[in-house]
Protein backbone atom coordinates (compact mmCIF):
# COMPACT_ATOMS: atom_id res chain seq x y z
CA UNK A 1 0.00 0.00 0.00
CA UNK A 2 1.29 3.43 -0.87
CA UNK A 3 0.42 7.06 -0.37
CA UNK A 4 1.82 9.55 -2.74
CA UNK A 5 2.78 13.14 -2.56
CA UNK A 6 -0.18 15.46 -2.39
CA UNK A 7 1.77 18.67 -1.94
CA UNK A 8 -0.01 21.08 -4.25
CA UNK A 9 -3.20 19.11 -4.72
CA UNK A 10 -5.42 21.37 -2.66
CA UNK A 11 -3.94 24.38 -4.40
CA UNK A 12 -4.85 23.12 -7.84
CA UNK A 13 -8.24 22.03 -6.55
CA UNK A 14 -9.01 25.56 -5.56
CA UNK A 15 -8.05 27.06 -8.85
CA UNK A 16 -10.06 24.50 -10.78
CA UNK A 17 -13.06 25.08 -8.56
CA UNK A 18 -12.87 28.79 -9.29
CA UNK A 19 -12.83 27.99 -12.94
CA UNK A 20 -15.87 25.82 -12.52
CA UNK A 21 -17.87 28.55 -10.88
CA UNK A 22 -17.05 31.35 -13.24
CA UNK A 23 -18.72 30.80 -16.56
CA UNK A 24 -15.85 30.31 -18.92
CA UNK A 25 -16.70 30.16 -22.59
CA UNK A 26 -14.84 26.89 -23.22
CA UNK A 27 -16.61 24.20 -21.21
CA UNK A 28 -14.44 21.31 -20.16
CA UNK A 29 -15.14 17.89 -18.82
CA UNK A 30 -13.29 18.66 -15.61
CA UNK A 31 -15.39 21.70 -14.93
CA UNK A 32 -18.50 19.64 -15.20
CA UNK A 33 -17.03 17.19 -12.76
CA UNK A 34 -15.98 19.75 -10.22
CA UNK A 35 -19.34 21.47 -10.37
CA UNK A 36 -20.61 18.55 -8.38
CA UNK A 37 -18.81 19.75 -5.27
CA UNK A 38 -20.80 22.93 -5.12
CA UNK A 39 -24.18 21.97 -6.51
CA UNK A 40 -25.28 18.41 -6.93
CA UNK A 41 -23.48 16.60 -4.15
CA UNK A 42 -26.47 15.57 -2.08
CA UNK A 43 -25.26 12.24 -0.83
CA UNK A 44 -23.96 11.40 2.60
CA UNK A 45 -20.89 13.63 2.52
CA UNK A 46 -21.44 16.32 5.10
CA UNK A 47 -17.94 17.76 5.04
CA UNK A 48 -17.26 20.84 2.96
CA UNK A 49 -15.14 20.29 -0.15
CA UNK A 50 -12.19 22.04 1.46
CA UNK A 51 -12.21 19.53 4.32
CA UNK A 52 -12.20 16.37 2.29
CA UNK A 53 -9.60 17.53 -0.21
CA UNK A 54 -6.88 16.12 2.05
CA UNK A 55 -8.58 12.72 2.11
CA UNK A 56 -8.00 10.40 -0.83
CA UNK A 57 -10.81 10.40 -3.37
CA UNK A 58 -10.95 6.63 -3.09
CA UNK A 59 -9.54 4.57 -0.31
CA UNK A 60 -9.61 0.78 -0.31
CA UNK A 61 -8.56 -1.04 2.86
CA UNK A 62 -7.95 -4.76 3.34
CA UNK A 63 -10.49 -5.59 0.67
CA UNK A 64 -11.17 -9.31 0.53
CA UNK A 65 -13.56 -11.03 -1.81
CA UNK A 66 -14.41 -14.65 -2.46
CA UNK A 67 -16.87 -15.79 -5.11
CA UNK A 68 -19.63 -18.14 -4.06
CA UNK A 69 -18.52 -21.79 -4.50
CA UNK A 70 -14.86 -20.73 -4.79
CA UNK A 71 -12.22 -22.12 -2.46
CA UNK A 72 -9.70 -19.27 -2.52
CA UNK A 73 -10.37 -15.52 -2.48
CA UNK A 74 -10.22 -13.65 -5.77
CA UNK A 75 -9.07 -10.52 -3.91
CA UNK A 76 -6.95 -10.93 -0.83
CA UNK A 77 -6.31 -8.01 1.53
CA UNK A 78 -6.02 -5.33 -1.18
CA UNK A 79 -5.34 -1.80 0.09
CA UNK A 80 -4.58 1.41 -1.81
CA UNK A 81 -5.44 5.10 -1.98
CA UNK A 82 -6.28 7.13 -5.04
CA UNK A 83 -5.71 10.86 -4.42
CA UNK A 84 -8.07 13.28 -6.04
CA UNK A 85 -7.28 14.06 -9.65
CA UNK A 86 -4.89 11.17 -10.11
CA UNK A 87 -4.95 8.28 -12.54
CA UNK A 88 -4.50 4.86 -11.01
CA UNK A 89 -3.73 1.98 -13.35
CA UNK A 90 -4.34 -1.63 -12.34
CA UNK A 91 -2.33 -4.19 -14.29
CA UNK A 92 -2.17 -7.95 -14.02
CA UNK A 93 -2.55 -11.18 -15.91
CA UNK A 94 -6.06 -12.38 -16.68
CA UNK A 95 -7.69 -13.96 -13.68
CA UNK A 96 -5.69 -11.82 -11.28
CA UNK A 97 -8.81 -10.05 -10.02
CA UNK A 98 -8.50 -6.66 -11.80
CA UNK A 99 -12.06 -6.53 -13.08
CA UNK A 100 -13.41 -7.95 -9.84
CA UNK A 101 -11.61 -5.17 -7.97
CA UNK A 102 -13.33 -2.49 -10.06
CA UNK A 103 -16.69 -4.24 -9.82
CA UNK A 104 -16.36 -4.45 -6.04
CA UNK A 105 -15.56 -0.74 -5.80
CA UNK A 106 -18.64 0.00 -7.93
CA UNK A 107 -20.79 -2.15 -5.64
CA UNK A 108 -21.53 -4.80 -8.24
CA UNK A 109 -19.87 -7.52 -6.16
CA UNK A 110 -20.32 -8.08 -2.44
CA UNK A 111 -17.10 -7.96 -0.43
CA UNK A 112 -16.42 -10.19 2.54
CA UNK A 113 -13.76 -8.09 4.25
CA UNK A 114 -12.33 -4.58 4.30
CA UNK A 115 -13.75 -1.15 3.52
CA UNK A 116 -14.22 1.13 0.55
CA UNK A 117 -14.32 4.87 1.24
CA UNK A 118 -14.90 7.97 -0.89
CA UNK A 119 -13.27 11.14 0.47
CA UNK A 120 -13.24 9.52 3.87
CA UNK A 121 -16.89 8.35 3.86
CA UNK A 122 -17.03 4.59 4.14
CA UNK A 123 -19.51 3.45 1.49
CA UNK A 124 -19.05 -0.30 1.77
CA UNK A 125 -17.91 -2.66 4.49
CA UNK A 126 -17.13 -6.34 4.10
CA UNK A 127 -19.71 -8.80 5.38
CA UNK A 128 -18.24 -12.29 5.65
CA UNK A 129 -21.51 -14.16 5.01
CA UNK A 130 -22.73 -12.30 1.93
CA UNK A 131 -21.42 -14.00 -1.21
CA UNK A 132 -23.94 -12.99 -3.90
CA UNK A 133 -25.96 -9.98 -4.95
CA UNK A 134 -24.96 -6.37 -5.42
CA UNK A 135 -24.00 -4.05 -2.57
CA UNK A 136 -27.02 -2.46 -0.85
CA UNK A 137 -25.59 1.04 -1.12
CA UNK A 138 -28.08 3.84 -1.75
CA UNK A 139 -28.73 5.32 -5.20
CA UNK A 140 -27.16 8.66 -4.30
CA UNK A 141 -23.99 6.91 -3.15
CA UNK A 142 -23.77 4.91 -6.35
CA UNK A 143 -23.81 8.07 -8.46
CA UNK A 144 -20.56 9.17 -6.79
CA UNK A 145 -18.70 6.40 -8.63
CA UNK A 146 -18.90 6.15 -12.40
CA UNK A 147 -18.06 3.01 -14.33
CA UNK A 148 -17.55 2.21 -17.99
CA UNK A 149 -17.53 -1.42 -19.10
CA UNK A 150 -15.76 -3.35 -21.81
CA UNK A 151 -19.02 -4.08 -23.63
CA UNK A 152 -20.34 -0.42 -23.56
CA UNK A 153 -23.78 -1.56 -22.35
CA UNK A 154 -25.70 1.41 -23.59
CA UNK A 155 -29.44 0.98 -23.10
CA UNK A 156 -30.67 -0.15 -26.54
CA UNK A 157 -34.15 1.30 -25.98
CA UNK A 158 -32.82 4.83 -25.50
CA UNK A 159 -31.19 7.22 -27.96
CA UNK A 160 -27.67 8.50 -27.35
CA UNK A 161 -29.08 11.55 -25.60
CA UNK A 162 -31.62 9.43 -23.71
CA UNK A 163 -28.85 7.20 -22.41
CA UNK A 164 -26.93 10.16 -21.07
CA UNK A 165 -29.83 12.10 -19.57
CA UNK A 166 -31.66 9.17 -17.98
CA UNK A 167 -29.83 8.92 -14.67
CA UNK A 168 -29.37 12.65 -13.89
CA UNK A 169 -33.07 13.33 -14.36
CA UNK A 170 -34.31 10.16 -12.65
CA UNK A 171 -31.80 9.75 -9.85
CA UNK A 172 -30.36 13.21 -9.22
CA UNK A 173 -33.72 14.87 -10.06
CA UNK A 174 -32.05 17.58 -12.07
CA UNK A 175 -33.99 19.82 -14.44
CA UNK A 176 -34.26 18.08 -17.79
CA UNK A 177 -33.35 21.18 -19.82
CA UNK A 178 -30.13 21.62 -17.80
CA UNK A 179 -29.28 17.95 -18.14
CA UNK A 180 -29.89 18.13 -21.85
CA UNK A 181 -27.60 21.12 -22.27
CA UNK A 182 -24.87 19.45 -20.30
CA UNK A 183 -25.27 16.21 -22.23
CA UNK A 184 -24.88 18.12 -25.49
CA UNK A 185 -21.72 19.78 -24.18
CA UNK A 186 -20.30 16.40 -23.22
CA UNK A 187 -21.18 14.95 -26.62
CA UNK A 188 -19.46 17.90 -28.26
CA UNK A 189 -16.32 17.17 -26.29
CA UNK A 190 -16.25 13.60 -27.59
CA UNK A 191 -17.15 14.76 -31.14
CA UNK A 192 -20.54 13.06 -31.20
CA UNK A 193 -22.92 16.02 -30.97
CA UNK A 194 -24.34 15.14 -34.38
CA UNK A 195 -25.27 11.67 -33.16
CA UNK A 196 -27.36 12.82 -30.18
CA UNK A 197 -30.56 11.39 -31.62
CA UNK A 198 -29.06 8.19 -33.01
CA UNK A 199 -29.77 4.79 -31.54
CA UNK A 200 -26.90 2.86 -29.96
CA UNK A 201 -27.03 0.16 -32.63
CA UNK A 202 -26.37 2.79 -35.30
CA UNK A 203 -23.00 3.67 -33.77
CA UNK A 204 -19.59 2.04 -34.07
CA UNK A 205 -18.01 0.42 -31.02
CA UNK A 206 -15.73 3.38 -30.47
CA UNK A 207 -18.62 5.82 -30.68
CA UNK A 208 -20.70 3.74 -28.26
CA UNK A 209 -17.86 3.68 -25.79
CA UNK A 210 -17.50 7.45 -25.96
CA UNK A 211 -21.23 7.78 -25.29
CA UNK A 212 -20.84 5.41 -22.34
CA UNK A 213 -18.10 7.69 -20.98
CA UNK A 214 -20.42 10.70 -21.30
CA UNK A 215 -23.19 8.77 -19.55
CA UNK A 216 -20.88 8.18 -16.59
CA UNK A 217 -19.45 11.73 -16.58
CA UNK A 218 -22.77 13.55 -16.46
CA UNK A 219 -23.23 12.33 -12.90
CA UNK A 220 -19.92 14.04 -11.98
CA UNK A 221 -18.47 10.93 -10.39
CA UNK A 222 -15.78 11.51 -7.80
CA UNK A 223 -14.04 8.42 -9.14
CA UNK A 224 -14.40 7.03 -12.65
CA UNK A 225 -13.71 3.31 -13.10
CA UNK A 226 -12.75 2.12 -16.59
CA UNK A 227 -12.75 -1.64 -17.00
CA UNK A 228 -10.80 -2.60 -20.14
CA UNK A 229 -12.86 -0.13 -22.13
CA UNK A 230 -10.99 -0.71 -25.38
CA UNK A 231 -10.67 -4.49 -25.20
CA UNK A 232 -13.68 -5.11 -27.47
CA UNK A 233 -12.76 -2.43 -30.02
CA UNK A 234 -11.13 -2.63 -33.41
CA UNK A 235 -7.61 -1.17 -33.28
CA UNK A 236 -8.50 1.98 -35.19
CA UNK A 237 -11.25 2.80 -32.70
CA UNK A 238 -9.06 2.35 -29.65
CA UNK A 239 -7.35 5.64 -30.30
CA UNK A 240 -10.53 7.77 -30.40
CA UNK A 241 -11.62 6.38 -27.03
CA UNK A 242 -8.23 6.64 -25.34
CA UNK A 243 -7.84 10.25 -26.53
CA UNK A 244 -11.00 11.07 -24.59
CA UNK A 245 -9.59 9.35 -21.50
CA UNK A 246 -6.31 11.25 -21.82
CA UNK A 247 -8.23 14.51 -21.97
CA UNK A 248 -10.13 13.53 -18.81
CA UNK A 249 -6.84 12.88 -17.07
CA UNK A 250 -5.52 16.30 -18.13
CA UNK A 251 -8.65 17.87 -16.69
CA UNK A 252 -8.18 16.27 -13.30
CA UNK A 253 -10.74 13.47 -13.35
CA UNK A 254 -9.87 10.89 -10.69
CA UNK A 255 -9.75 7.52 -12.43
CA UNK A 256 -8.98 3.90 -11.77
CA UNK A 257 -8.47 1.93 -14.92
CA UNK A 258 -7.74 -1.59 -16.00
CA UNK A 259 -6.18 -1.85 -19.44
CA UNK A 260 -4.11 -4.09 -21.66
CA UNK A 261 -2.81 -1.14 -23.69
CA UNK A 262 0.62 -0.89 -22.10
CA UNK A 263 1.78 2.21 -23.95
CA UNK A 264 -1.43 3.97 -23.02
CA UNK A 265 -1.03 2.88 -19.40
CA UNK A 266 2.50 4.25 -19.40
CA UNK A 267 1.33 7.57 -20.83
CA UNK A 268 -1.62 8.13 -18.53
CA UNK A 269 -0.68 6.57 -15.20
CA UNK A 270 0.18 8.55 -12.08
CA UNK A 271 0.41 5.33 -10.15
CA UNK A 272 0.56 1.67 -11.18
CA UNK A 273 -0.25 -1.46 -9.23
CA UNK A 274 0.33 -5.01 -10.37
CA UNK A 275 -2.18 -7.60 -9.21
CA UNK A 276 -1.45 -11.31 -9.13
CA UNK A 277 -3.80 -13.92 -7.73
CA UNK A 278 -5.76 -11.26 -5.90
CA UNK A 279 -2.85 -9.52 -4.19
CA UNK A 280 -0.87 -6.40 -5.00
CA UNK A 281 2.61 -7.63 -5.86
CA UNK A 282 4.04 -4.36 -7.14
CA UNK A 283 3.09 -0.74 -6.67
CA UNK A 284 4.82 2.39 -7.87
CA UNK A 285 4.44 6.16 -8.27
CA UNK A 286 6.96 6.10 -11.07
CA UNK A 287 5.19 4.58 -14.07
CA UNK A 288 7.98 5.54 -16.49
CA UNK A 289 10.48 3.55 -14.46
CA UNK A 290 8.02 0.69 -14.02
CA UNK A 291 7.48 0.29 -17.73
CA UNK A 292 11.04 0.93 -18.93
CA UNK A 293 13.12 -0.63 -16.15
CA UNK A 294 10.85 -2.85 -14.07
CA UNK A 295 12.48 -3.68 -10.74
CA UNK A 296 10.59 -6.68 -9.43
CA UNK A 297 10.76 -10.09 -11.07
CA UNK A 298 6.97 -10.19 -11.31
CA UNK A 299 6.80 -6.86 -13.11
CA UNK A 300 9.52 -8.03 -15.53
CA UNK A 301 7.66 -11.25 -16.17
CA UNK A 302 4.32 -9.49 -16.68
CA UNK A 303 5.68 -6.81 -19.00
CA UNK A 304 7.71 -9.45 -20.83
CA UNK A 305 4.47 -11.18 -21.79
CA UNK A 306 3.73 -8.21 -24.08
CA UNK A 307 7.02 -8.54 -25.96
CA UNK A 308 7.32 -10.67 -29.08
CA UNK A 309 10.46 -12.33 -30.31
CA UNK A 310 11.07 -15.14 -32.78
CA UNK A 311 12.81 -18.11 -31.27
CA UNK A 312 15.22 -18.29 -34.22
CA UNK A 313 16.16 -14.62 -34.01
CA UNK A 314 19.74 -15.21 -32.86
CA UNK A 315 22.50 -14.48 -35.42
CA UNK A 316 23.00 -17.12 -38.10
CA UNK A 317 26.55 -17.82 -36.92
CA UNK A 318 25.15 -19.20 -33.66
CA UNK A 319 23.28 -21.91 -35.47
CA UNK A 320 25.01 -25.17 -36.01
For another protein, what does the binding mask look like between residues 287 and 306, x meaning CB under 8 A? --------------------
| Residue of 49, 83, 107, 294 that binds another protein (CB under 8 A) | 107
> Is residue 219 involved in binding another protein (CB under 8 A)?
yes
Beta carbon of residue 280, minimum distance to another protein (angstroms, whole number): 24
Distance CA 143, CA 215 (A): 11
| Choices 13-21, 147-155, 185-193, 301-309 (CB under 8 A): range interacting with another protein | 147-155
Instruction: Decide whether 82 or 167 has the Cβ nearer to another protein.
Output: 167
| Choices 22-30, 54-62, 75-83, 103-111 (CB under 8 A): range interacting with another protein | 103-111
In the window 30-49, what residues touch another protein (CB under 8 A)? none
| Residue of 19, 166, 184, 262 that binds another protein (CB under 8 A) | 166
| Choices 21-29, 120-128, 167-175, 282-290 (CB under 8 A): range interacting with another protein | 167-175
| Choices 76-84, 85-93, 213-221, 250-258 (CB under 8 A): range interacting with another protein | 213-221
| Residue of 127, 130, 134, 191 that binds another protein (CB under 8 A) | 134
| Choices 14-22, 90-98, 143-151, 240-248 (CB under 8 A): range interacting with another protein | 143-151
> Is residue 4 involved in binding another protein (CB under 8 A)?
no
- Count, residues in the chain: 320
Distance CA 20, CA 27 (A): 9
| Residue of 140, 193, 267, 303 that binds another protein (CB under 8 A) | 140
Tell me how many residues contact another protein (CB under 8 A).
Answer: 29
| Choices 9-17, 111-119, 123-131, 212-220 (CB under 8 A): range interacting with another protein | 212-220
> Is residue 183 involved in binding another protein (CB under 8 A)?
no
Distance CA 36, CA 185 (A): 16
> Is residue 198 involved in binding another protein (CB under 8 A)?
no
The Cβ of residue 210 has, within 10 Å, a number of other Cβ atoms equal to: 29
The set of residues, in sequence order, having a beta carbon less than 8 Å from that of 311 and lying 6+ positions away, is: none
Give the residue among 199, 123, 129, 127 at the shortest CA–CA distance from 162: 199
> Is residue 229 involved in binding another protein (CB under 8 A)?
no
Instruction: Decide whether 47 or 170 has the Cβ nearer to another protein.
Output: 170
> Is residue 69 involved in binding another protein (CB under 8 A)?
no
Q: Are 312 and 268 in contact (CB under 8 A)?
A: no
Q: Which positions touch another protein (CB under 8 A)?
A: 103, 106-108, 134, 139-140, 142-143, 145-147, 149, 151, 153-157, 166-167, 170-172, 199, 201, 215-216, 219
Amino acid sequence: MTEFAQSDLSQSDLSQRDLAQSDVAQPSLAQANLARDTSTRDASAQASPADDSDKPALSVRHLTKTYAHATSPVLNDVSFDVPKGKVFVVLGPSGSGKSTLLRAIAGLEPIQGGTIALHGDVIDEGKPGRLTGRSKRASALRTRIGMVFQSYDLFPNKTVLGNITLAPTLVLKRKSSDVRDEAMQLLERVHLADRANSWPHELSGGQRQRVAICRALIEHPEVLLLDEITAALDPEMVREVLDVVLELADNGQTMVLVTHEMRFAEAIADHVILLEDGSIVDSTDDPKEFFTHPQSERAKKFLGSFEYKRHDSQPASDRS
